[in-house]
């Protein structure tokens, strides 16, 4: 299966700062990338869907100005958590998919802790 | 909203078959059944998917009832490394890029 990397794997930041998380598709060109958030002992919640070269589509309740998504190339998407607060502490996971393949491949996740 | 229901947890002895049920009574004709699993603190991993025929791959078998309202994922010889949360998801099409909506899943504990 495709390899998806995320960087960093863990990050601790102070409240009010911004954090950027990278998601890279290493094996194929990902026409679509997804960003999920997972709180402890809960399921994955989809935050947004992004297609290369176009604006991301956010799920209801997700603030697009707070969670900035850039899908600048077919192999890279970034999620920037702006003005992070402790309640943004979570496990952020990206996934990638391309047309013609049925599997969605997930990254290993990034654990964000905001102090 | 998730369109599937699964038991919250199950136990299975190592070496035995693990049978994980999923109810998807409102599934539409063009929706496939997908199974993913998530080992603790990792990203989900694709297992298998199907439309109406039973499917088998190197990881598992998927049995879909004739009316397609439920399915069962079978891990034929569970190992300790199969301990994970298993998610059953329905999604239109097979090669499209529609989003996956995760429900609460089944937490499978494989014990020695």
pLDDT band at B97 (very low <50, low <70, confident <90, very high): low
Position A73 scores a pLDDT of: 87
- Which residues partner with A51 through β-bridges? A32
Give the list of residues 6+ apart from residue A48 with CB closer than 8 angstroms, or none: A34, A35, A56, A57, A58, A59, A62, A64, A67, A69
* Angle (CA) A43 A44 A48, round 5°: 155
Tell me the shortest Cα–Cα distance from A2 to chain B, in angstroms: 11
> Residues 51..90 of A with a Cβ closer than 8 Å to B: which?
none
Look at phi and psi of residue A9 and say left if phi exceeds 0, alpha if psi is from -120 to 50, else beta.
Answer: alpha
pLDDT band at B1 (very low <50, low <70, confident <90, very high): low
pLDDT band at B82 (very low <50, low <70, confident <90, very high): very high
Angstrom CA distances, A96 to A10, A21, A30, A38, A75, stand at: 20, 15, 6, 17, 9
Mean predicted confidence (pLDDT) in B47-62? 94
Contact A93 B43 (CB under 8 A): yes
pLDDT band at B2 (very low <50, low <70, confident <90, very high): low
- Which residues partner with B33 through β-bridges? B50, B90
């Amino acid at each position: 299966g495709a390899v998806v990397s995320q960087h960093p794997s863990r990050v601790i930041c102070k409240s009010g700062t911004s954090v950027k998380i990278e998601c890279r598709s290493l094996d194929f060109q990902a026409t679509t990338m997804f960003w999920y958030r997972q709180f402890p002992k809960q399921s994955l919640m989809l935050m947004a869907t992004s297609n290369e070269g176009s604006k991301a589509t956010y799920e209801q309740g997700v603030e697009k100005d707070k969670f900035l998504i850039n899908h600048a190339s077919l192999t890279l998407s970034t999620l920037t958590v702006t003005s992070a607060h402790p309640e943004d502490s979570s496990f952020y996971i990206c996934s990638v998919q391309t047309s013609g393949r049925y599997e969605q491949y997930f990254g290993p996740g990034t654990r964000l802790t905001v102090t | 909203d998730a369109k599937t229901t699964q038991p919250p947890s199950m136990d299975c002895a190592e070496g035995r078959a693990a049978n994980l049920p999923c109810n998807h009574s409102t599934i539409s004709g063009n929706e496939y059944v997908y199974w993913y699993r998530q080992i603790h603190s990792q990203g989900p991993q694709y297992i298998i998917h199907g439309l109406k025929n039973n499917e088998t791959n190197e990881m598992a078998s998927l049995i879909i009832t004739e009316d397609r309202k439920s399915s069962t994922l079978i891990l034929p010889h569970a190992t300790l490394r199969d301990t994970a949360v298993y998610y059953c998801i329905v999604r239109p099409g097979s090669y499209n890029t529609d989003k996956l909506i995760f429900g609460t899943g089944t937490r499978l504990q494989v014990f020695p």
